[in-house]
Amino acid sequence: MVNCCGLVSEKNEPVPLKSISVELQVQDHVASVRSCLQYVNEEERPLEAVFVFPLPADAAVCHFSARIGEQEIRAELQDRQSARDQYDDAVSSGQQAFLLEESEESSDVFRLSVGCLSPGQNASITIVYIIELSVQADHALRFCLPAVLNPRYTPAAAGVVPEVSSASVIPYTLSLSVEVRSSDRISRFESSCTLDPLEFLDAQHTHATVNLSAGHRFDKDVELFLYYENSHQPSAVVEAAASAAQSGSLMGDPALMISLYPEFPADVMSSLASQGEFIFVVDRSGSMDCQMHHGNDAQMRIESARDTLLLLLKSLPMGCYFNIYGFGSHFESFFPSVTRSIASLDYILIPWMGSGVFLILTLIFSQLFVFTDGEVWNIKEVLDLVKSQVYSHRCFSFGIGEGASTALITGMAREGSGHAQFITGTDRMQPKVMQSLRFALQPAVDNISVDWTVPEGVTVDMLSPPINTLFQGQRALIYAQIKGQSSGKKEGAVTVKYRLKDQPVTNQLQFTLKPTEDTGLTIHRLAARSVIRSLELEERAGGADAENIRRRIVELSVQAGVSSAHTAFIGVNKDRKQTVKGPLLQRRVPVPGKLCVCVCVCLFPFSVCHSLNDYFLACSLESSNMMMIECDAASYEAEPQKDPLLQLVSLQKASGCWELNASLAAVFGKTEDEVTNRKAVDGSVWATVLALIWLYAFKSDQQDEWQFVAMKAASWIRSQKPDGLSQCVCDGNVLLGCQVTEDMLGI
């Protein structure tokens, strides 16, 4: 595949893009991002260039302008085809023109066409977009500035988006400044990159600024993590209408944003489901043979996914069913057939690549875990299918490494009422995946309703789609439009009701109907974006009303000034002095040929039944602790697990116990004789007690990873009702040099 980075010359060398400057303004849970890109034509002839680049999923582009010398060209948002025609006409007549449009297949990929730059001429492109900040498992708000665009797995009939490869060879620089304003105190600010110290601008610590340290090379995604002190406190924010907009329109009325981020009681969270159906879908494409990060001790992505899958299987409750699917140039399930005990499974397959790749997306009443480091080209088709099955499954998605598609990862989780996680840099995959498993096993909020209390003459129209489920660690933003006028009362209230494990919960929030200051239009535009995305989904579903829906999308997109699948930004420099003479040199990112994918299949040498009540891990996982990885034309054995925690997990039986043997003793740093000679109870009970003591004593900082493994082990011990258990724990502490109590072990 051609390695290309942004705009390239005939010699496949980056040419026009020289620097990127980003200003990030955060208001509570949303952000406005202003990016300025500096281009220069270093050719000896006039240049037309095309740059394909990523933006975060669900980003709403609301401004696009270009500056040539001292002249600024502010682009207008128009119907896509009309904008394309205007761009082509301008370029063919020698006028400078700029066209910015969203990919037809993926909402996180944009295409910028720069037309008719004279030799040696500079152009400064400014793009502004707004976005909701996602919530992480530790309650942080995450913003990501993606550095790379991974290759698309493309159906044969579709166009191919070029690859923007690793930014390590990109010659342009990046500067980034951040300003945060919040109604809640700012606790701290972290990043995957080096930052200057956080500077607070008020005594309440609700206003702060921070900058990316000088000298940063844009060789990886820039991730920012913002922490508030009272992250679970619900909030309601009203934004004033646009002064020039017509009253009664979305932009002409005040807009309301509700943030709902419930914190569930500990006793509810401890009541985990004991049964379920789980499907694990693992990317096996060639890119999964890349390292997780650039450090010396970095695992391969496929190895980390393999280790995580092992931990997941060991952590599932006894009453669960599971299957494993791999996808690369084709898909393959670990189990070729379905037993009668889970005959209710209904497989739904969709095309993934023109060469025959398929991905199993969902089952009836299942939990779907998807692991990938890239994405597919037909993202919108995938998300539509996930959305259509939302009442029969939940989808948990994991983006591995730099450049994993935000549109695919967050989109599948959003449409599948699940949760999205990104594993980048030196992040460990296991704790993030286990956090999602906790979500999958915990009860979710349902029967969500929203009621409004407003004065006479005022109404509230919901702009967000209904919320079907909500669970611990997931926040929902609800947008609404406030219509009408009230001569008296200036306050309103919203009451959010839901049920959690059959218990009713009520939250009531007060808000003002008249904002006292101009707060910008970020909430209005995000609300418009929410409506547009719902209309696009409705349009793709088909039907006789598709043309009217498309017309409504264009109308709302132009009115709100936010991008959509059917609109584009077009700017033309009509200054006659700037007309370009001579033949136009085209510079487009080369379209790669057919993807050459090395398909790696993780072959677990289990002898296994579908029910976890029946399955057991046979020879290689329980004895030699080896796994086979089979490629297209060769096979080899991966090295044994070196992580003692994963070694211990791999030795656990499906029932939750461990057997007393040399492999287990080696995890403890003992010989088999040392362990065997000290046993005072049944061998399996003794071995399981030792394993639990070791976990609590030596791996307490990784408890999120082994919590379910330990719960299953403790449950098994209690079911055995052994005599002399207290003495057994004492002997285990002596052998391992620990001080762990029975209460800590849960036995």
Which tens digits make up the pLDDT trace of 456-466?
889 999 999 88
The mean-pLDDT minimum among 97-101, 134-138, 515-519, 700-704 falls in: 515-519
Are residues 318 and 612 in contact, defined by beta-carbon separation less than 8 angstroms? Answer: yes
Model confidence over 3-50: pLDDT tens digits?
333 444 444 444 457 788 899 999 888 999 999 988 777 777 777 777
**Distance in angstroms (rounded) separating the CA atoms of residues 555 and 567:** 10
Band (523; pLDDT cuts 50, 70, 90):
very high
Position 601 pLDDT exceeds 70: no
Q: Would you state the pLDDT for residue 280?
A: 84
Q: Are strands 152-153 and 331-333 parallel, antiparallel or unpaired?
A: unpaired
Share of the chain above pLDDT 90, in %: 26
Q: Would you state the pLDDT for residue 354?
A: 27
**Distance in angstroms (rounded) separating the CA atoms of residues 537 and 352:** 19
Instruction: Report how far Cα 512 is from the mean position of its chain's Cα atoms.
Output: 34
Model confidence over 219-237: pLDDT tens digits?
677 889 999 998 888 888 8
Position 607 pLDDT exceeds 50: no
Q: Give the CATH architecture of domain 17-229+567-574.
A: Sandwich (2.60)
Model confidence over 637-681: pLDDT tens digits?
334 457 899 899 989 988 889 999 999 999 999 998 888 876 667
Give residue 746's region: left, alpha or beta (phi > 0; psi -120 to 50). Answer: left
The two domains 17-229+567-574 and 255-267+445-558 share their CATH topology (first three levels equal): yes
The Cα angle at residue 54 between residues 24 and 163, in degrees rounded to 5: 150
Position 111 pLDDT exceeds 80: yes
Helix-, strand-, coil-residue percentages of the chain, each rounded to 5: 25, 35, 40
In the DSSP assignment, the letter for residue 289 is G
For the chain, which residues make up each domain, given as ranges? 17-229+567-574, 255-267+445-558, 274-441+604-637, 653-745
* Strand, helix or coil for residue 362: strand
Query: Sign of the CA dihedral 226, 230, 232, 238?
Result: negative
Q: Would you state the pLDDT for residue 525?
A: 94
Give the tokens for residue 39. 């281009």
What rounded mean pLDDT belongs to the chain? Answer: 76
Q: Would you state the pLDDT for residue 174?
A: 81
Higher per-residue confidence, 648 vs 580 = 648
Share of the chain above pLDDT 70, in %: 76
Half-sphere exposure of 36 (CA within 13 A, CB side): 11
**Distance in angstroms (rounded) separating the CA atoms of residues 484 and 309:** 54
- The amino acid at residue 432 is K
Model confidence over 245-295: pLDDT tens digits?
888 899 999 999 988 887 777 776 666 666 677 888 888 777 787 877 766
Give the tokens for residue 616. 């057991």
Model confidence over 327-336: pLDDT tens digits?
766 666 666 5
The mean-pLDDT minimum among 116-125, 309-318, 339-348 falls in: 339-348
* Strand, helix or coil for residue 637: strand
Model confidence over 117-162: pLDDT tens digits?
778 888 888 999 999 998 887 889 989 887 755 444 333 333 333 3
- The amino acid at residue 699 is K
Q: Would you state the pLDDT for residue 219?
A: 67
CATH fold of the domain at 274-441+604-637: Rossmann fold (3.40.50)
Q: What is the mean pLDDT of residues 185-191?
A: 92
Residue 217 CB coordination number (10 Å): 14
Q: Would you state the pLDDT for residue 47?
A: 72
* Strand, helix or coil for residue 532: helix
Q: What is the mean pLDDT of residues 305-318?
A: 84
pTM for the full predicted model = 0.72
Are residues 33 and 131 in contact, defined by beta-carbon separation less than 8 angstroms? Answer: yes
Q: What is the mean pLDDT of residues 548-552?
A: 94
The mean-pLDDT minimum among 170-179, 382-391, 406-415, 564-573 falls in: 382-391
Q: Would you state the pLDDT for residue 636?
A: 31
Q: What does R_g of the chain's alpha carbons equal in angstroms?
A: 28
Higher per-residue confidence, 419 vs 608 = 419
Q: Would you state the pLDDT for residue 202?
A: 93
Are residues 110 and 101 in contact, defined by beta-carbon separation less than 8 angstroms? Answer: yes
Give the tokens for residue 397. 């998605």
The mean-pLDDT minimum among 77-91, 361-375, 637-651 falls in: 361-375
Q: Would you state the pLDDT for residue 392?
A: 67
Position 561 pLDDT exceeds 80: yes
Position 357 pLDDT exceeds 90: no
In the DSSP assignment, the letter for residue 576 is G
Q: Which range, 262-266, 625-629, 634-638, 743-747, has the best average confidence (pLDDT)?
A: 743-747
Q: Which range, 390-394, 518-522, 647-651, has the best average confidence (pLDDT)?
A: 647-651
Cβ neighbors of 13 (< 8 A, separation 6 or more) are: none
Q: Would you state the pLDDT for residue 581?
A: 52
Tell me the CATH number of domain 255-267+445-558, given options 2.50.20, 2.60.40, 3.40.50, 1.10.10. 2.60.40
**Distance in angstroms (rounded) separating the CA atoms of residues 476 and 255:** 16
Q: Which range, 158-162, 423-427, 502-506, has the best average confidence (pLDDT)?
A: 502-506
Higher per-residue confidence, 573 vs 347 = 573
Q: Which residues pair with 568 in a beta bridge?
A: 78, 101
